[in-house]
Structure 1
Amino acid sequence: MERLGKVSEWNDDRGFGFIAPLDGEPARVFFHVRDYRLDGRRPEAGELVKFAAQRQADGKWRAHAVRRAASATRPAKPSALARTASPRHASWLTGAVAIAAYALLVAWAIDNGRIPFEAVFVPLILSAITFVAYALDKHAAQTGRWRTPESTLHLLELAGGWPGAWIAQQTLRHKSRKPGYRVVFWTMVFLHGIALIAWCWTRS
């Protein structure tokens, strides 16, 4: 029988969480991302869901056929101005400006002999590797497989693959909605930029 509950806990990195049934019995029910009818999105803590619960051999409850409960009212569509000023648009603009500034810095450093021309291939290769790492991590998240640690993704960004990470965030819609992750991502971008400037300065 389908029941109504609220996602009380959700671990997006490990792909599982718990539902608190609104009728109070049992107190919480385990569910995995594979039990969630994705529809192109991920579960979120606090959302209302419909589910069916089944007691397992160990006596614990597990939910299956979990789906987001339909909202009572459909939210109004945002205006064109609101869409233009959306956080996603602002993120896209910020990233595009950062990549353009980074490209100009690398071009200036090569033109002034601060770094060899061959060095331009390093961020390109690292960006491609980072993009693939993002794509594999998203696929793992959707299929409930082992995820790539966020620390690994951040190390690739710090090493110079952050442009590929930003492109992956925009095109794959992965790691683009977690404020904590975004803060660390831009910190990696800043630290990489500072490291490049310091290197160029020592070569003057």
Structure 2
Amino acid sequence: MERLGKVSEWNDERGFGFIAPLDGEPARVFFHVRDYRLDGRRPEVGEMIRFTAQREADGKWRARTVRRTVPAARQAKLAAPSRAAARRPGSALPGALAIVAYALLVAWAIGAGRLPLEAMFVPLALSAITFVAYALDKHAAQTGRWRTPESTLHVLELAGGWPGAWIAQRVLRHKSSKRAYRVVFRAMGVLHVIAVAAWLWGRA
């Protein structure tokens, strides 16, 4: 599938450079001049392009079939709004209310004697671990290193780290614009809360 991006770096002597995808995933993608499909000219930093990408054996991403999208005169006007739209976060209110409701549920369970006092530290620890996992994955994306599988992040969210994942998406701007990922993320959070509520109900 073709994606939109911008040439962020170009070494004309060595014939390679990097693309910054407009959706931010990953932060940059390697490409070679032989993959640039426009005979008679060379890539330029800042130009908008379309490309396909694949992960190499070493885990890094490489662009294939790189081609220019629009005339240079229009590129500067298109780049800023597109990038802003891709990174614009949604409202923080629903997520914040969900975390507050979850904290109240845990506090009620502790006050009612259905959970020990130490239980309050479990979601805090899991959220911290999940936040760190997000931070490491973003750093790997920016440096072209091996990424953390999305399934691993979702398991952490399901285990109880979903509040930390939500905070990481807001603070780090990571996994915040990928709609399919966020759908699964929300599902993991809902399933965790349902499981906890059902377990507490069974202890009544």
TM-score band, normalised by the shorter chain?
A: 0.5 to 0.7
Equivalent position of 1:42 in the other structure: 24
Instruction: State how far apart, in whole Å, the 1-side matches of 2:165 and 2:73 are.
Output: 34
Instruction: State how far apart, in whole Å, the 1-side matches of 2:115 and 2:150 are.
Output: 30
**Equivalent residue pairs, number:** 156
Question: Which amino acid letter does the alignment assign opposite residue 187 of structure 1?
Answer: A
Instruction: State how far apart, in whole Å, the 2-side matches of 1:155 and 1:43 are.
Output: 20
Match status 1:103 vs 2:85: no
Instruction: State how far apart, in whole Å, the 1-side matches of 2:186 and 2:140 are.
Output: 24
| Residues 147-204 of structure 1: per-residue CA shift (max 9 Å, x gap) | 0000000000000001100000000000000110000000000000001101110111
Match status 1:143 vs 2:123: no
Equivalent position of 1:129 in the other structure: 129
**TM-score, normalisation: structure 2:** 0.65
- Structure-2 change in CA distance of 1:67 and 1:52 (3 Å): farther
The alpha carbon displacement at 1:114 in A equals 1.1
Structure 2: 5+ residue runs without aligned partners? 6-15, 36-41, 49-71, 82-87
Instruction: State how far apart, in whole Å, the 1-side matches of 2:122 and 2:108 are.
Output: 16
Instruction: State how far apart, in whole Å, the 2-side matches of 1:71 and 1:177 are.
Output: 28
Question: Which amino acid letter does the alignment assign opposite residue 18 of structure 2?
Answer: D
Q: Secondary structure at the match of 1:35?
A: strand
Question: Which amino acid letter does the alignment assign opposite residue 19 of structure 2?
Answer: Y
Instruction: State how far apart, in whole Å, the 2-side matches of 1:112 and 1:181 are.
Output: 36
The alpha carbon displacement at 1:67 in A equals 4.3
Equivalent position of 1:74 in the other structure: 77
The alpha carbon displacement at 1:94 in A equals 1.1
The alpha carbon displacement at 1:43 in A equals 6.5
Task: Determine if contact 1:95/1:166 at 8 Å carries over to the other structure.
Answer: yes
Task: Determine if contact 1:157/1:188 at 8 Å carries over to the other structure.
Answer: yes
Instruction: State how far apart, in whole Å, the 2-side matches of 1:174 and 1:167 are.
Output: 10
- Structure-2 change in CA distance of 1:68 and 1:192 (3 Å): farther
The alpha carbon displacement at 1:138 in A equals 0.3
Task: Give the fraction of aligned pairs with identical amino acids, expressed as a percent.
Answer: 61
Match of 1:54 among 11, 34, 53: 34
Q: Secondary structure at the match of 1:36?
A: strand
Q: Which runs of 4+ in 1 moved over 6 A?
A: 63-66
RMSD: 3.6
**TM-score, normalisation: structure 1:** 0.65
